[in-house]
Amino acid sequence: MKVAPSILTANFIRLEDELKSIEKGSDYIHVDVMDGHFVPNISFGPAIVEQIGKLSPLPMDIHLMVEYPLNWVDKVNFPTTEFITVHAEAHRFAESIKRIKFIGKKAGVCIKPSTSVETIMPYLPQVDLVLVMGVEPGYGGQMFIQSQLEKIKQLSDLKEKHGYIYEIEVDGGINASTAKQCKEAGATIVVAGTFIFNFENRKERIESLK
């Protein structure tokens, strides 16, 4: 299992130290960009994303929780950006996927708990990552919605049946117990924020997820 700590719950006054504390064992840094419209929260913009990219050697897994992702794709295109993920519920998300591919980054598509896998089935051959939200997006510290395990299993079955290449990532309510459930359902990456950053020994928490 790959692990992507969510920087959203880090202490931004000590950003460099926080990033160093998760370097060992982490596979990516998960960066949530929120515009205050698509979700009822605001996080940070491209300038902070750029600084995260400069301060850490880990590849960035950027999750655009924004209403108009096409306006944001180029703004988060940095040297260490690996994935840029857009929501299936956002405006012109299909065009956004094409743009991500055009600029040479890996494209992801995300679905909220209320959105079915069928909604994104036409795009599965094109994407490099599918992000399943285990909670309603916008805030950390929520409980994992167990019904999302069925979506993970469905995506895993489709991937195997058709030979798709996408990673299956899960974000929201992740801890050692839910990470195991997600892995058994077919997930390949888990995103964790409070489970990692609310504890002193981050390396130990990351290892428990892996």
The set of catalytic residues is 32, 171
- The whole-angstrom distance between residue 43's C-alpha and the CA centroid of its chain comes to 14
What's the rounded Cα separation, in Å, for the pair 154 and 94? 21
Going by C-alpha positions, the residue among 177, 112, 118 that lies closest to residue 147 is: 112
**Unique residue bearing structure tokens 């719950």:** 9
Q: Cite the DSSP H helix spans in the chain.
A: 15-21, 46-55, 93-102, 148-162, 176-185, 194-197, 202-209
Going by C-alpha positions, the residue among 94, 35, 95, 100 that lies closest to residue 65 is: 35
Handedness of CA 32, 36, 41, 45 (dihedral sign): positive
Cβ-count burial 77-98 (b if 16+ within 10 Å, e if not): bbebbbbbbbbbebeebeebbe
What's the rounded Cα separation, in Å, for the pair 52 and 21? 13
